Structure 1
Amino acid sequence: MLLEASAALAPFASFKATAAPPGGNLLLRRPVFPAPLFGSLIGTRRRSSSLAATESGQALTGLLFQPFEEIKEELSLLPTHLDLSLARQKYADECESALNQQINVEYNNSYVYHALFAYFDRDNVALKGLAKFFKESSEEEREHAEKLMEYQNKRGGRVKLQSIVMPLSEFDHPEKGDALHAMELTLALEKLTNEKLLQLLSVAEKCNDAQLADFIESEFLEEQVEAIKRISEYVAQLRRVGKGHGVWHFDQMLLREGDAAAA
């Protein structure tokens, strides 16, 4: 091995003469390599040996994550029964139940708003802006329910739909009129929904479910605050205009807002 290295590194080596053997006149020379170059050669061989050890599957010192060892516990937890979810992980029964309750809240809201849409769409009420607003609100609440259902399935829970309360069908009020009364009812309902969402978030935090908590905060809570602010402004405006001609102007404003958003 040394002879091969000597031949390859001959241009970098110096030669040192040795004494002639007895009775002979031939001088032998042995190569002398510079110390830095020889040290580099040794270091290269050591690195090659280390790489070979790694490739052969030998464990490195200080290894923090050993997947094939740590995965054994997760493999043992995988369900084998066909009725059990394979995706479920660290998802408490309490969170699953609370999520189903929120689905029911959203569907009830949608039902109430659909009843309000039907009322304002009557031929003897004919406030098309309010009718459109409540129809869109009903669709939005149903989308919220579906989003919660999709998340329930994503986490390995089971969606359990519950009964929906029959909403009112008449919304006229002798003092406030129908528009203000309906919008105040909407504001109260949105605030109640916000309370329900905060309760769901509290359950997620209690169960240390960071993923559910993040989902509620990012997908629902901010939007809920914006909805409360918007409807609060509608209530304030309707209180200003009273029950008369101003309601028609407010209704036209809602109609134009809907058309502008669609455009």
Structure 2
Amino acid sequence: MYEWAVIYTDTDSKGTLKPTDINVPWRDMVDPCVKLAEAQIKVEIHAAMKYLAMAAYFGQDKVSLPGFSKFFFDAANEEREHAKKIMKYLAMRGELSGGVTHLIQPLGEITESPTSGLQALKDALALESQVTREIRNLIQMCETPKDSDFNDYHLVDYLTTDFLDEQHKGQRILAERISILGKMVNTQGGLADFLFDIKLLNGEI
């Protein structure tokens, strides 16, 4: 027969479980690095919301470019996944101990009406380039933080391997698609977005 032990924890009057005070100095990330990592979460969430807005725009019945819509929905999912990865990393390092609501707010106004498919791709490339620059800034801060000689090799390696590699490959793909669609616009005129959309939807490009 098994004997079950009941462990009583400290709760408040509403029965809410209070956080445990570990009292062991195991966290070692420096504050500037943590702050920039939190800022990067906001950058990724903002990018995701911009892509969601663009996906919704192209999915409207009056626009009806489902290939572009799918492309930007996929891009939004990717950016959300990046934000989740950084959140999980901070949690793993013991640095996600406060509220997170402030980390998942957009950084500014979200526009949703690109003038064309080509402009939408150019906007996406500009956005990805900005995200890449922010990741580089985060890497630099965590590698050589101000007022500290602590080099966070683990986070730097994680960001370089998992994030920068994907960013550069993604930017290359966007640049190629901009080039292809630009040529189609020059030869096909107003039909270019429609023809390119079919290729996107069928996975031909």
Under a length normalisation based on structure 1, what TM-score does the superposition of the two structures give?
0.62
Q: Deviations over 1:103-132 (max 9, x none)?
A: 000000000000000100011111110000
Stretch deviating more after TM superposition (82-91 or 228-237): 82-91
Which amino acid is 1:142 matched to? Answer: R
The match for 2:117 among 157, 179, 193 is: 179
Contact 1:119 1:169 in 2 (8 A): yes
Deviation at 1:82, TM superposition (A): 3.2
Any unmatched runs of 5+ in structure 1? 1-80, 173-177
Q: 2:144 aligns with which of 181, 187, 206?
A: 206
Q: Structure 2: how far apart are the matches of 1:187 and 1:113? A: 12
* Structure of higher CA gyration radius: 1
Quick check: 1:130 aligned with 2:68? yes
**Contact map agreement 1:201 1:216 (CA 8 A) in 2:** yes
Deviation at residue 88 of structure 1 after TM alignment: 3.9
**1:148 lines up with 2:86 in the alignment:** yes
Among 128, 143, 167, the alignment partner of 2:110 is: 167
Alpha carbons 1:130, 1:254 under 8 Å: kept: yes
Does residue 1:190 correspond to 2:128, yes or no? yes
Distance in 2 (CA, whole Å) between partners of 1:187 and 1:88 is 40
Q: Return the alpha-carbon distance in structure 1 between the equivalents of residues 25 and 56 of structure 2.
A: 41
Q: Does 1:250 align with 2:196?
A: yes
Aligned Cα root-mean-square deviation (Å): 2.0
Kindly provide the CA deviation profile for residues 124-182 of structure 1, in whole angstroms up to 9, marking residues without a partner as x.
Answer: 1111100000001001100110010000000110264343123112212xxxxx10111
Amino acid aligned to 2:197: D
2:95 equivalent in structure 1:
157
Taking every aligned residue pair, what percent have the same amino acid on both sides? Answer: 30
Measure how far apart 1:256 and its partner are.
Answer: 1.1
Alpha-carbon distance in 2 for matches of 1:130, 1:88 = 47
The one-letter code matched in structure 2 to 1:248 is F
Per the alignment, do residues 154 and 181 of structure 1 end up closer, same or farther by CA in structure 2, a change over 3 Å counting?
same
Displacement after TM superposition at 1:218 (Å):
1.1
Change (3 A) 1:241 1:141: same
Match of 2:161 among 191, 201, 218: 218
The secondary structure found in structure 2 opposite 1:257 is: coil
Which structure has the higher relative contact order (CA within 8 Å, separation 6+)? Answer: 2
CA-CA distance at 1:100 after TM superposition: 0.2
Contact persistence 1:87–1:154 (CA under 8 A):
no
Structure 2 unaligned runs (5+)?
1-18, 146-150
On the 8 A contact 2:43/2:131 being kept in 1, the answer is yes
Counterpart for residue 41 of structure 2: 103
Shift of 1:83: 4.6
Alpha-carbon separation, structure 1, partners of 2:161 and 2:37: 15
Normalised by the size of structure 2, how large is the TM-score?
A: 0.79
Shift in Å at residue 246 of structure 1?
2.1
Instruction: Find the aligned partners of 1:129 and 1:238 in 2 and give their Cα distance.
Output: 13
Letter in 1 for 2:201: L
| Equivalence for 2:180 | 237
The aligned amino acid for 2:46 is N
CA contact (8 A) 2:50 2:112 kept: no
C-alpha distance in structure 2 between counterparts of 1:114 and 1:127, whole Å: 14
Q: Which residue of 2 aligns with 1:22?
A: none
Q: Does 1:139 align with 2:77?
A: yes
- Asked if the contact 1:201–1:213 (Cα under 8 Å) also holds between the matched residues in 2, the reply is yes
Give distance in 2, aligned partners of 1:152 and 1:117: 30
1:201 and 1:83 map into 2 onto residues whose CA distance is 30
